[in-house]
């Protein structure tokens, strides 16, 4: 697994059980787990991973409290002052997340990528 795939999987894990905001939850979660792999994962990389996940139909973006998903990745060049943009895994994303062959084994965090 390369770095891009690892970051995507970590982001998918972060959004797999609730609507999550980049700056409130996804960034701290992904950065913490990435550090166990010796990686320093920054916000632009996470935003890029979210865009790829949305493009692949694995995640959707929302402006809460609306329950209607956005049609595409919203611009997130700057930290939101009033956290309104949230992300959630799709059924397709959940299938991938739960697939035993592609599941990220965090017990192997000390092993090289």
The string of pLDDT tens digits covering residues 9-60 is: 999 999 999 999 999 999 999 999 999 989 999 999 999 999 999 999 999 9
The DSSP line for 3-54 is HHHHHHHHHHHHTSSS-B-IIIIIHHHHHHHHHHTT----HHHHHHHHHHHH
Q: What is the CA radius of gyration of the chain?
A: 13
pLDDT tens-digit series, residues 16-28: 999 999 999 999 9
Element at 85 (helix H, strand E): strand 85-89
Cα 12 to chain centroid distance, Å, stands at 4
Residue owning tokens 């690892």: 6
Q: Which two structure tokens, joined as six digits, stand for 69?
A: 């998903």
Domains and CATH numbers, the chain: 3-100 (1.10.10.10)
């Amino acid at each position: 697994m390369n770095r891009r795939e690892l970051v995507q999987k970590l982001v998918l894990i972060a959004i797999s059980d609730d609507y999550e905001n980049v700056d409130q939850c996804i960034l701290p979660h992904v950065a913490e787990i990435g550090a166990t792999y010796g990686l320093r994962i920054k916000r632009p990389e996470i935003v890029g991973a979210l865009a790829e996940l949305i493009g692949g139909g694995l995640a959707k973006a929302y402006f809460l409290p609306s329950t209607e998903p956005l049609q595409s990745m919203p611009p997130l060049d700057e930290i939101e002052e009033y956290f309104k943009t949230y992300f959630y895994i799709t059924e397709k994303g959940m299938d991938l997340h739960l697939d035993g062959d592609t599941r990220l084994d965090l017990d192997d965090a000390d092993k090289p990528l």
